[in-house]
Amino acid sequence: MRKAHPITRLLGSLNLAIFTLVFLAALLAVATWIEGQHGTRNANLWIYKTAWFDSVLMLVFINIFFATWLRYPFKKHQTGFVFTHVGILTILLGAFWTRQVGQEGMLSMFEGERGNAIVQDGTILQVTSRGQKLLELDTDHYEDKDRVLNFSLASSQERIRILKVSAHSEDGYRYTESKIGIRNMPAVRFSLTGSMSQMKDQWLSLHNPKVTNPAVLNLGVATISLEKLEAEELAQSFTVPSESMGTLIIRKQDTSEPLARISIRDLQKDAVLLADGSRIEFMDYYPFATVQQNVLMNDPEERFVNPAVRVKITTKEQKEDIILRFQRIPDFKSSRETITDYSFELLDAEPVSKRAALKVILSDGKWYFVSQSRSGINTGELQIGQAIPTGWMDFQFTLEEAIEQARPEKSIRMLTKTPGLKSVRPAVRFELLEPGSDKGVEYLIQYGDEIPTLIGDLPITVTYGPRLLYLPFSVTLNDFRKIDYPGTTRAMSYESDVTVTDPGSSPSQFDKTIKMNHILIHRNWKFYQADFEILDDGREISRLQVGYDPGTPLIYLGSIVMIFGICLMFWMSPKRTQNTDPSEESCAV
């Protein structure tokens, strides 16, 4: 045991070791609790990836370092101790090394796409000019206050003021009259008022509904829609379509000539006796049949026009059975049907939707409405500002604005709270300040967008989006597969076939399949299959986690040394483990 400065002895003391062990354990317990409550991202942001957490680990390092150093020169019985603690030091060194120069990110690609930009943690507002980065701000760590940032553009000092960073913003559209342009379509603004609820400034438009407001608004109790019709179609839409319950065709098996054609409406009134003595009785009729959770019912939303009829057949021999037929799926038969010598078919049923609806119709430069409710149909010409009773509860419909040739314009709103399920994007409001003045032009930028503009005559681009890191080579996704366990949708494996293209290596191009437990390693960059997404249109996106982790060999080495040391310490010197006299150790305290 060497003589040492009191501070060194304190830093290497067992007391400090006990303190750091307990403190680190408690801290980590809190961190996992935070992760459970607030998600992995926040746990990283608040604890694991902070400087103060690094310093706690540094304290562990210092403590172990001095504890080992104080025991130098080592005695034979301390071999286990030395191995263990030098092992831990090596592991920590490896971890710090990774923390300093390591990189982590996500590479998302469509099938057939080639990529080399990985997305890292952080949301970056960036100002560039002709590809040159002038300014970068990570808004994840931005405190919500006015802040003026400087950047230099062509040797002059420019200033940008960040007014507000919001984690949520919403896209909206307004419409203006426009005589020119080919993409102009009709749009209307209306309000719906009733004693139960109110709706104001709602737009309907015939533009592409994926981009702007839709043409049909489903309110649950009713739908409101916008249509454009020719004059001859207009008259038709003012009349109630006729309803038919259809006809049931019954054939003896193996004959083409029907045994009977029975109108469902007649059958509803009275049972029918067939020529061969069998009797058909009406049971149910479903104009909008749907099967939900194994129960046959009428679809309350009337989304599927699929009439179905259920009848009871009693043969001459008094055998009974229940037959169910769908008009749209004639081949579908219940597995329970026991009478199989007849075939049944439902034809010509034309149900009419009884749902309440209001249509705004543009025809020949004039606006009309068709309002359908339980009390019947109501039609007429529409005037702006005129309230029309809809017939559903006490709702009144008012047309506020009607534009024949409307052009949509995007409008962004910043939100203070997450609004329900709507997809929202972060946004930043900023000002580019005039030289020598406190005023400037205000802009609003949404995540994923870029704003090109001019300062003086020099072009600059402001972008807002993820932090990107460019790999020194590129990866092409050739194919992505999700393989399921047979007969289930449970994933057995996810696999991505990729091609790596790197002019700086030989071979400059090679193929590899990345899947669970089969990662791609190239130039110390590791790629593993992390996630995938299948879009509505069937296109597949594969997400690869990308990491650059140079400290791993040190960690492996340290681990081996540590485990060897622990085993030595616990079992190779039984005298020490059995001897509970702590006098020798307490010297260090």
Partner 1 sequence: MRSLIVLLSALFFLSCPQAQSVMDTIKRYPILDQGRIKPLNTFARESAYEITGRENPFTMTGIEFLLMLLDNPDKVTLHNFIRLDNAELKTEFGFPVKEKYFNFQQFLKQPNLSSLFDQVREKGNRKEKLSPRDEAVRKVEHSLHLISGIMSGELLAIIPDKTDPAKFLPLSSLEVRQDQEQMKLVSSFVKIARGYNEKTPELMLEGTNEFSSSLSGKWNPSPKQISQFDQEVFYLDFKPYRKAALFYGFSLLLIGFFLQFTTQSMLKTMAQACFWVGFMLHTYALGLRVYILDRPPVSNMYESVVFMAWAAALIFLITQWRRFDSIYHLSASLCGCLTLVMADLLPMNSSLGVLEAVLRSNYWLIIHVMTIVASYGAYTLAAVLAHIYIIMSMTSRSPQTIKSTFKLLLNSIYVGSVLLVAGLILGGVWANESWGRFWGWDPKETWSLITFLGYMAVLHARKAGKIRELGVVLWSLICYILVIMTWYGVNYIIGAGLHSYGFGSGGTHWFWLFVVVESSIALISGWILTRKKKPQAIAS
Which residues sit at the interface with partner 1, rule CB under 8 A?
14-15, 17-18, 21-22, 24-25, 28-29, 31-33, 35-36, 39-40, 43-44, 48, 95, 98, 104, 292-295, 331-333, 335-336, 484-488, 490-494, 516-517, 519, 526-528, 530, 545-547, 549, 552, 555-556, 559, 562-563, 566-567, 570-571, 577-578, 580, 582, 585-586, 589
Q: What are the percentages of helix, strand and coil residues in the chain, rounded to 5?
A: 25, 45, 30
Nearer to partner 1, 187 or 546 (CB): 546
8 Å CB contact between 397 and 367: no
CA–CA dist 394, 191 (Å, integer): 14
Q: Least distance (Å) from partner 1 to the CB of residue 312?
A: 15
The closest of 407, 369, 411, 406 to 390, measured between CA atoms, is: 369
Nearer to partner 1, 50 or 453 (CB): 50
Q: Least distance (Å) from partner 1 to the CB of residue 210?
A: 25
Exposed / middle / buried, residue 405 (Cβ in 10 Å: 0-12, 13-18, 19+): middle
Nearer to partner 1, 87 or 391 (CB): 87
Nearer to partner 1, 69 or 443 (CB): 69
Nearer to partner 1, 35 or 321 (CB): 35
Q: Least distance (Å) from partner 1 to the CB of residue 247?
A: 25
The CA angle 58-61-66, to the nearest 5 degrees, is: 125
Q: Least distance (Å) from partner 1 to the CB of residue 421?
A: 11
Nearer to partner 1, 402 or 471 (CB): 471
- DSSP structural state of residue 571: I
**H-state helical runs in 194-327:** 231-237, 264-269
The CA angle 266-270-276, to the nearest 5 degrees, is: 95
- DSSP structural state of residue 537: T
- Maximum Cα–Cα distance across the chain: 116
8 Å CB contact between 285 and 246: no
Nearer to partner 1, 324 or 555 (CB): 555
Q: Least distance (Å) from partner 1 to the CB of residue 525?
A: 9
Q: Least distance (Å) from partner 1 to the CB of residue 339?
A: 15
8 Å CB contact between 427 and 414: yes
Q: Least distance (Å) from partner 1 to the CB of residue 561?
A: 11
Nearer to partner 1, 351 or 558 (CB): 558
Nearer to partner 1, 369 or 527 (CB): 527
Q: Least distance (Å) from partner 1 to the CB of residue 140?
A: 18
- DSSP structural state of residue 76: G
Q: What is the 3-state secondary structure (H, E, C) of 314-377?
A: ECCCCCEEEEEEECCCCCCCCCCCCCCCEEEEEECCECCCCCEEEEEEEECCEEEEEEEECCEE
Buried b (16+ CB within 10 A) or exposed e, 431-454: bbbeeeeeebeeebbbbeeebeee
Q: Least distance (Å) from partner 1 to the CB of residue 302?
A: 18
Residue 327 pairs in a beta bridge with none
